[in-house]
């Protein structure tokens, strides 16, 4: 898929005519990042907005005692870096390449200019941000759960939503993040993740093969953990 085709599939830009998409594309630059490379850092001043054209990134914050908390994993067609452009403050979190990834970059001036010129982009952006707040609310709620199985269940549901594909009620998460990353999303330890994945397998709620995890009956799984 060309960068221009990809831009036309990004939800916040779907209302743009092709001529406007071309203008947007003309104002963007491109960059590639290696796995684990830092794309932007919490507390830095930022001047750029990013759209992921290939691969995925993780959005993290580091707690006082040095633990990484993963706020989100974003993939192809997702955007990041908008918050500091909108409120003029420093970056709210770190963005780190999860695998080799490619991004399209728009400068603050052009980003804000497009929002002013096309109010529909602003509305779509708000819709997307509302969705992110909902996910964060669920994450905060799940952190309060003492039951580790429940926490991992909620985290797997989030990964299913963000990275999964569904076919006949089975959701496949093809590139399951490392167990340490799942632990950092769920606010628990890698050992607990390993134990809980085994337990969920024994209960025949999930199956695993290489890096793919399948939720065998998505509706049943949702009912159990939401």
Closer to ligand CMP at the Cβ: 45 or 202? 45
- Considering only 10, 39, 72, 160, the residue that binds ligand CMP (CB under 6 A) is 72
Q: Is 92 in the site for ligand CMP (CB under 6 A)?
A: yes
By CB under 6 A, residue 152 contacts ligand CMP: no
**Nearest approach, Cβ of 135 to ligand CMP (angstroms)?**
7
Asked whether position 93 contacts ligand CMP by CB under 6 A, the answer is yes
Residue by residue, what is the 3-state secondary structure of the chain?
A: CCHHHHHHHCHHHCCCCHHHHHHHHHCCEEEEECCCCEEECCCCCCCEEEEEEECCEEEEEECCCCCEEEEEEECCCCEECHHHHHHCCCCCCEEEECCCEEEEEEEHHHHHHHHHHCHHHHHHHHHHHHHHHHHHHHHHHHHCCCCHHHHHHHHHHHHHHHHCEEECCEEEECCCCCHHHHHHHHCCCHHHHHHHHHHHHHCCCEEEECCEEEECCHHHHHHHHC
Nearest distance in Å: CB 72, ligand CMP: 4
User: 30 φ, ψ to 5°?
Assistant: -125, 150
Residues 44-63 that bind ligand CMP (CB under 6 A): 46, 59
Number of residues located near ligand CMP, criterion CB under 6 A? 16
Q: Under the criterion CB under 6 A, does residue 95 sit at the interface with ligand CMP? A: yes
Q: Does residue number 71 form part of the binding site for ligand CMP (CB under 6 A)?
A: yes
Choices 88-96, 103-111, 118-126, 155-163 (CB under 6 A): range interacting with ligand CMP: 88-96
Is 80 or 118 the residue whose CB approaches ligand CMP more closely? 80
Whichever of 92 and 122 has its CB closer to ligand CMP, that residue is 92
Choose between 81 and 200: whose C-beta lies nearer to ligand CMP.
Answer: 81
- Residue 31 or 220 having the CB closest to ligand CMP: 31
* Residue 225 is a binding residue for ligand CMP (CB under 6 A): no
Alpha-carbon distance of 27 to 4, in angstroms, equals 12
């Amino acid at each position: 898929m060309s960068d221009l085709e990809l831009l036309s599939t990004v939800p916040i830009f779907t209302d743009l005519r092709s001529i406007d998409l071309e203008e947007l594309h003309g104002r963007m630059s491109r960059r590639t990042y290696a796995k684990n490379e830092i794309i932007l850092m919490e507390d830095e001043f930022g001047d750029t907005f990013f759209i992921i054209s290939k691969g995925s990134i993780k959005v993290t914050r580091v707690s006082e005692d040095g633990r990484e908390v993963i706020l989100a994993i974003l993939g192809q067609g997702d955007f990041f870096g908008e918050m500091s452009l909108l409120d003029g403050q420093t970056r709210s979190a770190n963005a780190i390449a999860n695998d080799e990834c490619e991004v399209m970059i728009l400068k603050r001036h052009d980003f804000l200019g497009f929002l002013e010129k096309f109010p529909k982009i602003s509305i779509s952006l708000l819709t997307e941000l509302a969705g992110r707040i909902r996910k964060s609310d669920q994450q905060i709620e799940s952190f309060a759960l003492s039951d580790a199985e429940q926490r991992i269940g909620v985290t797997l549901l989030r990964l299913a939503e963000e990275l999964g594909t569904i076919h006949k009620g089975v959701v496949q998460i093809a590139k399951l993040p490392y167990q340490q990353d799942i632990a950092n999303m769920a606010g628990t330890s890698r050992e607990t993740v390993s134990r809980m994945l085994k337990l969920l397998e024994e209960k025949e709620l999930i199956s695993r093969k290489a890096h793919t995890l399948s939720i065998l009956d998505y509706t049943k799984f949702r009912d159990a953990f939401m």
